[in-house]
Amino acid sequence: MGNLLRERRTAAEWASAEQVIEITDKIGGFERLASVVQADIAALDADKTPTDWRDSVVAGTLEFGFADAQRRVPTVRCDVAATVDAVCQRCLEAFQLPLATEANLLLLERQDTAEEYGDFEVWELNEETLQPLNIVEELLIMALPFSAMHGDLESCKALSAATDDREKMTKPFAALREQMLQD
Protein backbone atom coordinates (compact mmCIF):
# COMPACT_ATOMS: atom_id res chain seq x y z
CA MET A 1 0.00 0.00 0.00
CA GLY A 2 1.33 3.44 -0.92
CA ASN A 3 1.29 6.60 1.10
CA LEU A 4 -2.36 7.59 1.59
CA LEU A 5 -1.39 11.27 1.79
CA ARG A 6 -0.32 11.15 -1.85
CA GLU A 7 -3.29 9.16 -3.21
CA ARG A 8 -5.99 10.91 -5.20
CA ARG A 9 -9.68 10.10 -4.70
CA THR A 10 -12.89 12.06 -4.77
CA ALA A 11 -13.96 13.59 -1.47
CA ALA A 12 -16.97 11.26 -1.44
CA GLU A 13 -14.69 8.21 -1.81
CA TRP A 14 -12.50 9.30 1.11
CA ALA A 15 -15.60 9.97 3.23
CA SER A 16 -17.43 6.74 2.23
CA ALA A 17 -14.44 4.71 3.32
CA GLU A 18 -14.39 6.71 6.59
CA GLN A 19 -10.67 6.84 5.93
CA VAL A 20 -8.38 7.68 8.83
CA ILE A 21 -4.86 8.70 7.87
CA GLU A 22 -2.17 8.73 10.54
CA ILE A 23 0.59 11.11 9.49
CA THR A 24 4.24 10.69 10.37
CA ASP A 25 6.30 12.22 7.62
CA LYS A 26 9.20 14.62 7.26
CA ILE A 27 8.91 18.26 6.21
CA GLY A 28 11.02 17.42 3.17
CA GLY A 29 8.08 15.33 1.93
CA PHE A 30 5.83 18.40 1.80
CA GLU A 31 7.16 20.31 -1.19
CA ARG A 32 5.36 23.65 -0.70
CA LEU A 33 5.90 23.74 3.08
CA ALA A 34 9.58 22.89 2.60
CA SER A 35 9.92 25.70 0.08
CA VAL A 36 8.40 28.22 2.54
CA VAL A 37 10.75 27.10 5.33
CA GLN A 38 13.74 27.12 2.99
CA ALA A 39 12.93 30.66 1.80
CA ASP A 40 12.79 31.83 5.43
CA ILE A 41 16.08 30.30 6.55
CA ALA A 42 17.88 31.23 3.31
CA ALA A 43 18.55 34.68 4.78
CA LEU A 44 20.83 33.16 7.43
CA ASP A 45 24.59 32.92 7.08
CA ALA A 46 25.66 29.47 5.90
CA ASP A 47 27.21 28.63 9.29
CA LYS A 48 23.94 29.47 11.09
CA THR A 49 21.60 27.60 8.72
CA PRO A 50 20.16 24.41 10.27
CA THR A 51 21.33 21.46 8.20
CA ASP A 52 18.67 18.90 9.13
CA TRP A 53 15.56 21.10 8.90
CA ARG A 54 14.01 18.83 6.23
CA ASP A 55 14.03 15.94 8.74
CA SER A 56 11.64 17.59 11.22
CA VAL A 57 8.55 15.45 11.68
CA VAL A 58 5.02 16.34 10.62
CA ALA A 59 2.55 14.30 12.67
CA GLY A 60 -1.20 14.15 12.96
CA THR A 61 -4.45 12.60 11.87
CA LEU A 62 -7.00 13.13 9.12
CA GLU A 63 -10.44 11.57 9.65
CA PHE A 64 -12.85 11.59 6.71
CA GLY A 65 -16.59 11.27 7.11
CA PHE A 66 -19.89 12.98 6.32
CA ALA A 67 -21.57 15.97 7.95
CA ASP A 68 -25.10 14.78 7.17
CA ALA A 69 -27.09 11.58 7.68
CA GLN A 70 -27.77 11.34 3.94
CA ARG A 71 -24.00 11.07 3.35
CA ARG A 72 -23.91 13.84 0.75
CA VAL A 73 -21.56 16.37 2.40
CA PRO A 74 -18.03 14.98 2.87
CA THR A 75 -15.88 16.25 5.73
CA VAL A 76 -12.40 15.82 7.13
CA ARG A 77 -11.30 16.47 10.70
CA CYS A 78 -7.63 17.44 10.82
CA ASP A 79 -5.22 17.56 13.73
CA VAL A 80 -1.67 18.27 12.54
CA ALA A 81 1.54 19.42 14.24
CA ALA A 82 5.13 20.06 13.22
CA THR A 83 8.18 21.91 14.41
CA VAL A 84 9.85 23.97 11.71
CA ASP A 85 13.07 25.93 11.65
CA ALA A 86 12.40 29.66 11.36
CA VAL A 87 14.25 32.96 11.66
CA CYS A 88 13.31 35.20 14.59
CA GLN A 89 12.40 38.60 13.20
CA ARG A 90 13.74 40.31 16.33
CA CYS A 91 17.23 38.83 16.68
CA LEU A 92 17.59 37.27 13.19
CA GLU A 93 18.67 33.90 14.63
CA ALA A 94 17.33 30.45 13.74
CA PHE A 95 15.00 28.77 16.22
CA GLN A 96 12.52 25.89 16.41
CA LEU A 97 8.94 27.06 15.85
CA PRO A 98 6.21 24.64 16.95
CA LEU A 99 3.10 24.62 14.77
CA ALA A 100 -0.19 22.94 15.62
CA THR A 101 -3.52 23.23 13.88
CA GLU A 102 -6.94 21.64 14.06
CA ALA A 103 -9.72 22.03 11.53
CA ASN A 104 -13.11 20.57 10.69
CA LEU A 105 -13.53 21.00 6.96
CA LEU A 106 -16.48 20.57 4.63
CA LEU A 107 -15.16 19.34 1.30
CA LEU A 108 -17.35 21.21 -1.18
CA GLU A 109 -17.25 21.96 -4.85
CA ARG A 110 -17.32 25.65 -5.77
CA GLN A 111 -21.02 25.75 -6.58
CA ASP A 112 -22.08 24.10 -3.28
CA THR A 113 -23.08 26.06 -0.20
CA ALA A 114 -23.24 24.98 3.43
CA GLU A 115 -24.86 27.60 5.63
CA GLU A 116 -26.40 24.94 7.89
CA TYR A 117 -23.01 23.53 8.91
CA GLY A 118 -21.69 26.30 11.16
CA ASP A 119 -19.17 24.09 13.00
CA PHE A 120 -17.17 23.54 9.83
CA GLU A 121 -14.90 25.58 7.62
CA VAL A 122 -15.37 25.22 3.88
CA TRP A 123 -12.58 23.70 1.80
CA GLU A 124 -13.37 24.39 -1.85
CA LEU A 125 -12.38 21.60 -4.18
CA ASN A 126 -10.70 22.85 -7.36
CA GLU A 127 -10.50 19.40 -8.93
CA GLU A 128 -12.64 16.30 -8.94
CA THR A 129 -10.08 14.38 -6.88
CA LEU A 130 -8.48 15.30 -3.60
CA GLN A 131 -4.97 14.61 -2.33
CA PRO A 132 -4.84 14.74 1.51
CA LEU A 133 -1.24 15.98 1.38
CA ASN A 134 -2.53 19.29 -0.02
CA ILE A 135 -4.82 19.78 2.98
CA VAL A 136 -2.06 19.07 5.51
CA GLU A 137 0.37 21.32 3.70
CA GLU A 138 -2.08 24.21 3.40
CA LEU A 139 -3.08 23.99 7.06
CA LEU A 140 0.55 24.08 8.22
CA ILE A 141 1.42 26.97 5.89
CA MET A 142 -1.58 28.92 7.21
CA ALA A 143 -0.44 28.16 10.79
CA LEU A 144 2.90 29.90 10.17
CA PRO A 145 2.99 33.33 11.82
CA PHE A 146 3.43 36.41 9.65
CA SER A 147 6.54 37.29 11.66
CA ALA A 148 8.19 34.41 13.47
CA MET A 149 9.69 35.38 16.82
CA HIS A 150 11.03 33.70 19.93
CA GLY A 151 8.29 33.43 22.49
CA ASP A 152 10.38 33.98 25.60
CA LEU A 153 12.87 36.55 26.80
CA GLU A 154 15.67 34.09 27.53
CA SER A 155 15.77 32.67 24.00
CA CYS A 156 15.77 35.90 22.00
CA LYS A 157 19.08 37.73 21.91
CA ALA A 158 17.38 40.98 20.89
CA LEU A 159 15.00 40.91 23.88
CA SER A 160 17.68 39.99 26.39
CA ALA A 161 19.98 42.74 25.01
CA ALA A 162 17.15 45.28 25.31
CA THR A 163 16.56 44.25 28.93
CA ASP A 164 20.28 44.61 29.71
CA ASP A 165 20.27 48.09 28.13
CA ARG A 166 17.26 49.15 30.22
CA GLU A 167 18.94 48.02 33.41
CA LYS A 168 22.10 50.00 32.57
CA MET A 169 20.15 53.09 31.55
CA THR A 170 20.78 56.24 33.54
CA LYS A 171 17.65 57.90 34.85
CA PRO A 172 18.48 61.59 35.21
CA PHE A 173 15.13 62.58 36.71
CA ALA A 174 14.84 59.75 39.24
CA ALA A 175 16.01 62.01 42.10
CA LEU A 176 13.51 64.71 41.08
CA ARG A 177 10.70 62.14 41.06
CA GLU A 178 11.66 60.99 44.55
CA GLN A 179 11.57 64.61 45.79
CA MET A 180 8.14 65.18 44.24
CA LEU A 181 6.76 62.03 45.86
CA GLN A 182 8.03 63.14 49.30
CA ASP A 183 6.22 66.50 49.17
- 15-68 pLDDT, tens per residue? 999 999 999 999 999 999 999 999 999 988 888 889 899 999 999 999 999 988
pLDDT of residue 162: 47
**What is the rounded distance in angstroms from the CA atom of residue 158 to the CA atom of residue 90?**
6
Q: Does the predicted model carry a pTM greater than 0.85?
A: no
**What is the rounded distance in angstroms from the CA atom of residue 144 to the CA atom of residue 98?**
9
What percentage of the chain reaches a pLDDT higher than 90?
55
- What angle in degrees, to the nearest 10, is found between the helix axes of 132-143 and 31-41? 30
Separation of CA 18 from chain center: 25
For the segment 154-171, the average pLDDT, to the nearest whole number, is: 63
pLDDT of residue 168: 56
Q: Indicate the residue type of 118.
A: G
The stretches of 47-152 forming alpha helices (DSSP H) are 132-143
